[in-house]
Amino acid sequence: MTPNAFRTRFAPSPTGYIHLGNIRSALYPWAFARHHGGTFILRIEDTDTERSTDEAVQVILESMDWMGLDYDEGPYYQMQRMSRYREVMQTLVDAGHVYPCYMRQDELDTLRDRQMAAGEKPRYDGRWRPEPGRILPPIPEGVKPVLRFRTPLLGVVSWDDKVKGPVEFRNDELDDLVIARPDGTPTYNFCVVVDDIDMAITHVIRGDDHVNNTPRQIHIFRALGAQPPTYAHLPTVLNEQGEKLSKRSGAKSVLQYREEGYLPDAMVNYLARLGWSHGNDEVFSREQFVAWFDLDHLGRSAAQFDGEKLKWLNGQAIRAMAPEALADATRPFLDRMGLVVQGVRLEDAVVLVRERASTLVEVAGLCAMFYAPPEPAPELVAQHLSPAATVALSDLRARLAALDPWDKPAISAALKETLVAQGLKMPQLAMPLRLLVTGRLQTPSVDAVLALFPRDTVLSRLDPPQP
């Protein structure tokens, strides 16, 4: 098979929110398909009708869209494929790969209790499995059967996992799986296999919570006369406390990171490294990731989430952005603060403040000094506006009023002249100046900040207080 025929999929169940571990299970198959010029498919596994919701589907679509994980086919919805599953089920029935089992729930419970009491693993005992020479129990009245898959009794099932290496299960450890419920609806493992066959999936890259399903799925593939795909089972992602990422253990949803001002490219960079490596490279672009991604460098042990590292990478990405792109990314956050961009070009503001910011929320927070009227706390004004500072500010105001051109070098020169004329040190002037012009004591260098403002704005903020 040529690499450009490689087909991967992300197959989430829309039962809640999605966290970073979940979206990583989309990122890797996406990158693998993109790397090989193959096809990436989105399939929504919504057969658990009690837990699946439309809202959760929307969250998946929005999260993928935000992360820039575009798919070439789908979304397919399993609930829309029921007739196909029934059709394929019939071929298994016809070929004798499945059989009806009439065991009632209370009988299953009794069996289970007995096995547990004997210290055995609970499993179906095969009592309805037809075998040559075996007499089956009489069919009870009023019980609708489930269909069970006839798992080979002997031998092993194995595959060469791209992450875990060779994996093998003994068939006698696998009982006969229910693949259709009494009402005929197919169960999870069966649907996955039919889909993976119909969608011609070549590489299944998914979380290792599915390792135990894989031997069962391989048997179903074979019963359907299909070649199982290549599997890569990704190790779990742990939170900072070492627990599995989950809603209950406090994992944030992917979209929460958007709200907090993370950049999709930084998320991709971070998640790429959370379970895969390219030498010692830590900071790379989406394009580099796609160019480098392979299944041979997936990590074998659980990866631990590190929020500080994600934030650091986000800061790196913010600093690497083109000014226009960073301004565009910041604008919604200013909108959210009710601020209107006017007077100061946002492209200039973001470039000036970004050294101090790790998220877009922080960039917007720093840029706010250009778009919100300054409201310095009265106690700070009292503290910093000494009589000497007041005189110096009026000296500076006069120099600034006459400057030509209005730019950073000229402003810097004016500041120095005032310091000399007034016999002050820089902080004695810069602190009250910052406070009056921006309402803050901490800003990037004050000449650069002033240069961004229109001169009139600066002068009016330095006007002596009206009596």
Catalytic residue numbers, as ranges: 247
If the CB atoms of residues 232 and 414 are measured against ligand GLU, the closer one turns out to be 232
Beta-bridge mates of residue 238: 244, 304
Least distance (Å) from ligand GLU to the CB of residue 21? Answer: 10
If the CB atoms of residues 45 and 447 are measured against ligand GLU, the closer one turns out to be 45
Q: Which residue is nearest to ligand GLU (CB)?
A: 206
If the CB atoms of residues 45 and 176 are measured against ligand GLU, the closer one turns out to be 45
Least distance (Å) from ligand GLU to the CB of residue 214? Answer: 9
CA-nearest of 237, 209, 297, 254 to 68 is 254
Lookup result for tokens 């840029």? 367
HSE-CB at 46 with a 13 A cutoff on CA atoms is 20
Residues 387-415 as b/e (b if ≥16 CB within 10 A, e otherwise) read eebeebbebbbebbeeeeeeeeebbbebb
If the CB atoms of residues 56 and 274 are measured against ligand GLU, the closer one turns out to be 56
Distance from CA of residue 395 to its chain's centroid?
54
If the CB atoms of residues 204 and 353 are measured against ligand GLU, the closer one turns out to be 204
Structural Rg of the chain based on CA atoms: 32
The residues of the shown chain that bind ligand GLU, judged by CB under 6 A, are 11-13, 45, 192, 206, 210
Least distance (Å) from ligand GLU to the CB of residue 289? Answer: 21
Least distance (Å) from ligand GLU to the CB of residue 169? Answer: 17
Report the C-alpha gap between 117 and 111 in whole angstroms: 10
Least distance (Å) from ligand GLU to the CB of residue 426? Answer: 59
Least distance (Å) from ligand GLU to the CB of residue 12? Answer: 5
Least distance (Å) from ligand GLU to the CB of residue 210? Answer: 5
If the CB atoms of residues 211 and 372 are measured against ligand GLU, the closer one turns out to be 211
If the CB atoms of residues 12 and 75 are measured against ligand GLU, the closer one turns out to be 12
